[in-house]
Amino acid sequence: MLPIVAIVGRPNVGKSTLFNRILGQRQAIVDELPGLTRDRHYAEATWNGHTFLLVDTGGIDPASVQPIQRQIMKQAEYAIEEADLTMLVLDAREGITPLDLDVVDRIRKRGRPAILVVNKVDSHRPEGELAEFYSLGLGEPVPVSALHGRGSGDLLDFVTGALPGIEPPPTDSGAIRIAVVGRPNVGKSSLVNRLLGQERMVVDATPGTTRDAVDTTILRGKQAFTLVDTAGMRREAKVHDPVEFYGITRALRAVSRADIVLLVVDVSREPAKQEARLAALAEERTKAIVVIFNKWDTVEDPSAVKPAIEEEFTRMYPFLEHAPRLYVSAKTGAGVGKILPLSDRVYREYARLIPTSELNKAVQEILNKVRPPATPSGRYLKFYYAAQTSTKPPTFALYVNNPRYRIKNYVSYLERGLRERFGFQGIPIVLDWKRSQ
């Protein structure tokens, strides 16, 4: 679970400069999220052992007549709503402006924890010169110069010290945890309601680790499934604009708490980049994934449309070629009954442990079919031994003469061979290459 830290404020106070400064700290370990960091608005940062998701937002200016300002306002409001901690950035040179007061009011209304950051303090200033900022009622102002780096370490100490404790995902209770994700209005809530409405026993509905989330556990036969829901999914009908921040931050948390990700796609709409980002998110977090093509009842000629969808899916998501797909209608219930049984099978693969002797036999058979090619320098990769080191996801240690001798295409060939032998449908496989001593 990653706490969310949002940077907000009016235009031109240095929010993006502060964003980049935090990510540029030599002591901070930064991992950008591929597919999610368009325009560098999302990134993971670590400071003194605390990792958090840092989110940059556009400048809040309610008086602006620019059409894009409406989207910027919504994004900032969602950022404040979703954040575990908000950094309100002000300009020390300009002091407190009416726009600053407007942003402060928005933060107060949502009751979220906040740190007041006074930017553009390029030299040491007596505490008295910052006195006016105390009047905002957000606690002690933290002076920084995002451009020159002054005070950024102290700010990060404040941030990590103020972050609330994030409850870890529950330990394995025997229930398979399923996160339902997708862009707005693809039918996630309808699908969840349909799953709950079928003749199944609802075991409980308990608060999850995300604010306002409700995890609902249901039984199908003897197997329990926990639907990792979020308030974003439950309130989806209230979202009229496809604000990317809203969907991504909800998905980040839902995916982090799940074993299996159900990626819901609306077959009546054109594919979108956000779906690719969500698919990449599940892949990056090494979660099992099942793709649900919803609203199949709206398709007039399924036999003609399905091949086209399959071709487009393979083109857009080549890394999910192994993921199983279902065509369903949450509205009519058609195909929905297959989701939980398929999720059960996928989870068994996700948690599967291959005996070492069986694994090594399979690897040798794959190698004997196609030998590893030579590197440009004429070196050959030589395999000695393989062992599965963990599950969820299946992780295999491959002991070789030198990991640098591996060729990308051959790695893909080996992975395909393992899938042909052991299945792993919808499961990311991790190959951990090790040099044999």
Q: Are residues 12 and 116 in the same domain?
A: yes
What pLDDT score was predicted for residue 426?
A: 86
- Cα separation, 231 vs 260, whole angstroms: 19
Same domain, 143 and 22: yes
244 and 119 belong to one structural domain: no
Please name which of 21, 26, 27 lies closest in space to residue 40, comparing C-alpha atoms.
Answer: 21
435, 402 in Cβ contact below 8 A?
yes
Q: Do 17 and 72 belong together in one domain?
A: yes
More confident residue, 61 or 69: 61
Domain end, chosen from 127, 162, 197, is at 162
- Indicate if 247 and 148 belong to the same structural domain: no
Do 157 and 189 share a domain, yes or no?
Answer: no
Q: Hey, what are 411's tokens?
A: 């790695």
Q: For residue 381, give the nearest of 394, 369, 395, 398 by alpha carbon.
A: 398
Average pLDDT of the residues in 315-331: 87
CATH of the domain at 365: 3.30.300.20
DSSP string covering 1-45, please?
Answer: ---EEEEE-STTSSHHHHHHHHHH-TT-EEE--TTT-GGG-EEEE
Torsion region of 137: left, alpha or beta (phi above 0 gives left; psi -120 to 50 gives alpha): left
Q: Which of 57-61, 147-151, 352-356 shows the lowest mean pLDDT across its residues?
A: 57-61
Number of domains in the chain: 3
Q: Do 128 and 264 reside in the same domain of the chain?
A: no
Domain presence at residue 91 = yes
Which amino acid is it at 290? V
**169 within some domain:** no
For residue 393, tell me if it sits in a domain. Answer: yes
CATH number (domain holding residue 336): 3.40.50.300
pLDDT, tens only, 280-310: 878 888 899 999 999 999 998 988 889 988 8
Same domain, 98 and 182: no
Its pTM stands at 0.66
Q: Is residue 131 part of a domain?
A: yes
| Residue 63 to residue 99: CA distance in whole angstroms | 9
Question: What is the amino acid identity at position 113?
Answer: P
Query: Under 8 Å CB-to-CB from 190, ≥6 apart: which residues?
Result: 294, 330, 331
User: Is 149 found in the same domain as 8?
Assistant: yes
Q: Which domain holds residue 372?
A: 356-435
In a domain, 168, yes or no: no
Domain boundary among 320, 350, 380: 350
Does residue 366 lie in a domain region? yes
The C-alpha atoms of residue 256 and residue 254 are separated, in whole angstroms, by 6
Q: 133 by DSSP, 3-state: which?
A: helix
| Residues 308, 429 within the same domain | no
Percent of the chain surpassing pLDDT 70: 79
- 339, 360: one domain: no
Which residues make Cβ contacts (< 8 Å) with residue 99, sequence separation at least 6? 10, 60, 61, 62, 63
Which of 314, 332, 350 is a domain's end point? 350
Tell whether 346 is covered by a domain.
yes
Q: Is residue 170 part of a domain?
A: no
Q: Which residues contact 412 (CB under 8 A, 6 or more apart)?
A: none
| Pick from 174-178, 227-231, 265-269: least confident | 227-231
**3-state SS of the chain: helix, strand, coil percent to 5?**
40, 25, 40
Whether residue 28 is found in the same domain as residue 118: yes
If you average pLDDT over residues 149-169, what whole number do you get? 79
pLDDT score for 11: 84
